Every structure is written in C-alpha cells, then in structure tokens.
Amino acid sequence: MLDDRKLAVLRAIVEDYVSTNEPVGSKALTDRHNLGVSPATIRNDMAALEEQGYIRQPHTSAGRVPTDKGYRLFVDRLSSIKPLSRAERRAIETFLAGAVDLDEIVMRTVRLLAQLTRQVAVVQYPSLTRSSIRHVEIVPLAERRVMLVLITNTGRVEQRVIDLPEDVADDRIGNLRAVLNSCLDGCGLSMVPETVADLPERLPPEDRQVAVTILSVLLETLVERHEEKIVFAGAANLAAADFSVGLRDVLEALEEQVVLMRLLGETAGISELTVRIGSENPYSGLRGTSIVAAGYGSGDKELARLGVLGPTRMDYPVTMGAVRAVARYVGQILAGS
C-alpha cells in the first residue's frame, strides 16, 4: 500500500512544511531532498498519499499539506525523538535545581518548557491523591479558630482555616496533633479516610467533638482539592506562531482548568509520551493544535503530567525530546527534595 518511497515522500513533506509553513510541491521536494526520482514520479506518489488521506491540497494547484492523519503516521513511524544537546540538558538541570519550594519548581518548569519548545507549556501540580502525608500541623489562630496545614511528600502544602465549636486549650491541640501525626505519617492520601475513621473513638470523650470537626475538614480538603491545579506559560509564543485564526479559542481553552486537564490526557507510563494531533483533541476550539504530554513523578509513581501545546505543524521530534527530558528532570528534582 505504502512503499518505502511514499513514506519517504510523506516524511519530506512534513519536514518541509514544518520548517517553511508553506504547501510543498513536487519540484521543491526533489530539490531539497535527493529522492533519486523525478518530480513526476513524486506527483504520482503524492496522488496516492492524498487518496489515502495523509496529505491534502489547500486549493487545486497548490502544494500539499499534511493532514492530521499524515502527522500521526509521521509521529508513529517516520520520526524518532530527538534528544536534547548536552548544553540544553545542563541548562535544564541548573535551572530547575535552583528552586526552593514546590511552587517554584512548578513555575520554573513551565517557563523552562515554554522557552525550550517556543510553545505554550502546561504543567499540572503533583496530584494529592497519589502522594502521601508527611506532616499534619494544627496551628491555633484565635480562641476558637485553628489553621490546619497539610504537608505531603511532594512538598505540597494545603491549608484551611477551621472554626471550632468550643474553646480548646493549646495543650489539647498539641495532643491532637501528636495523635494525628502518629496515625497519618506516611499514609497514602487515598488511605486517609479509612485510617482516620475510628480515630475519634480512641480519644478522650471531651476531645471527640473537636476531632470530628477537624477531621471532616481534613477529608474535605483531600477530596475537594482533587480538582488539580494547573499552570501554563508561553502564551506569547502563540502569537508568534502565525496562528491568527483561532487564537482566541486557544487562549480560552488555556484558561479553563477543566479543558487543560483533559488535554494532558489520562495516565500513561512515566515519561511516556502522549501525542494528540489536531482533531484527536477532545475540544473543538483546538482544531489546528497538537499536544505533546508526558507524566512525571518521583520513583515509579506518576504524580502528574506536563506538556506543551502548539500548532499542528510543530517540530514533533524536537518537541517530544524536550518534553520527555523535562519530565524526567522534574521527577528527579521531586524525588530529591
């Protein structure tokens, strides 16, 4: 069906179109790549490729442009991920290493990725549900008010102000804190509800009321905050790419957390790349854009995902290389801190 030469032609079309952003014709192809055959032959191949939906002509008598299906084939079979240069790896490493807390790690990561790929970068905060509790703190703020602070092993900190039903002395708070910590230290977040279920019963009766109040907020925090936080950067790169049409839609999508979440896609393996091309996206405003995403995490658990979004005609090998590399380094940083 598709012999080697036709595949070579498709690859050449994708590469040329990506770099020039203009429909590519048979003449230009034979000039720039030495395919060893004449333009006429190429034309036949092109006709075949078009027949099968891998390329199309914007107008009669213009060059050919890859379709989403064409890009898909290119990504799956015709290209290999391009590793970063040594210098780039170095840059990533030093840039990320300077971060002092989770916020900054995420912030730097998203900027780095945007700069590296010259596209819009998207990074999801390490998810709560897959991490575990490192410490629980209860801080008295006022007579009947405490702040609950939750620190996870990924460095994420959640805080809630809680109004208590009664005055509680500081030592009772201290006691409660100690009990909570001994129960929950290292506990996976998904395990918290059952771990905590019978806890009030093990406390002296006078503390139960307070414990119940605090625990309910704690659980609520875990569940509600399941809606994960996502940040993006590099929107200016969108304007640079000759997007023009649909830019509006893309910007809108970027500001919708929910859409972004779905774009990053469901789980794959760590550092395993997911590529969504044009119409494969689950959002109509993003026809014309592709997403390259990967999971990242410490150890072998995927904590969250990150990726970039750009025009369908992006340089996939390079972009994929950058995304994979950044995902790996972030994983390392998270594991180390």
Partner DNA sequence: CTCTGGCACTCTGTGTTCCCGAGTGCCAAG
Partner DNA sequence: CTTGGCACTCGGGAACACAGAGTGCCAGAG
Residue 59 binds: one of its own copies, DNA, none (C-beta under 5 to 8 A by kind) = DNA
Q: Which amino acid is at 86?
A: R
The CA distances from residue 140 to 31, 137, 180, in Å, are: 75, 10, 16
> What residues contact residue 56 under an 8 Å CB cut-off, 6+ apart?
50, 64, 65, 67
φ and ψ of 298, to 5 deg: -100, 145
Nearer CB in complex with DNA: 43/229: 43
Verify binding: residue 24, DNA, rule CB under 7 A.
yes
Nearer CB in complex with its own copies: 238/293: 238
In whole angstroms, the minimum distance from the beta carbon of 157 to its own copies comes to 5
Cα–Cα distance between 158 and 281 in angstroms, integer?
Answer: 32
What character string, x for contact with DNA (CB under 7 A) and - otherwise, covers 35-74? Answer: -xxxxxx-xx-xx--x------x-xxxxxx----------
Residue 297 binds: one of its own copies, DNA, none (C-beta under 5 to 8 A by kind) = none
Residue 247 binds: one of DNA, its own copies, none (C-beta under 5 to 8 A by kind) = its own copies
Cα–Cα distance between 16 and 327 in angstroms, integer?
Answer: 28
Verify binding: residue 328, DNA, rule CB under 7 A.
no
Q: Quick one: CA dihedral 99, 105, 108, 112, positive or negative? A: positive
Nearer CB in complex with DNA: 104/242: 242
Residue 40 binds: one of DNA, its own copies, none (C-beta under 5 to 8 A by kind) = DNA
Residue 67 DSSP symbol: -
φ and ψ of 232, to 5 deg: -135, 165
Of 17-25, 123-131, 149-157, 313-321, which part binds DNA (CB under 7 A)?
17-25
Rule CB under 7 A: which of 96-115 touch DNA? none
In whole angstroms, the minimum distance from the beta carbon of 124 to its own copies comes to 16
Q: What is the DSSP string of 250-300?
A: HHHHHH-HHHHHHHH-S--SBT-EEEEEGGGSS-GGGTTEEEEEEEE-STT
Residue 125 DSSP symbol: P
Residue 120 binds: one of DNA, its own copies, none (C-beta under 5 to 8 A by kind) = none
In whole angstroms, the minimum distance from the beta carbon of 149 to its own copies comes to 6
Q: Quick one: CA dihedral 241, 245, 248, 253, positive or negative? A: negative
Verify binding: residue 28, DNA, rule CB under 7 A.
yes
Cα–Cα distance between 36 and 222 in angstroms, integer?
Answer: 63
Helix axis angle, 86-97 to 316-336, nearest 10°: 40
Closest CA to 216 of 168, 160, 134, 172: 160
- Residue ranges in contact with its own copies by CB under 8 A: 100-102, 134-135, 137, 139, 141, 147, 149, 151, 155, 157-161, 233-236, 238-240, 247-248, 251-252, 254-255, 337
Nearer CB in complex with DNA: 27/287: 27
In whole angstroms, the minimum distance from the beta carbon of 231 to its own copies comes to 9
For DNA (CB under 7 A), the number of binding residues is 25
Residue 205 binds: one of DNA, its own copies, none (C-beta under 5 to 8 A by kind) = none
Using CB under 7 A, list all residues that contact DNA: 5, 23-28, 36-41, 43-44, 46-47, 50, 57, 59-64
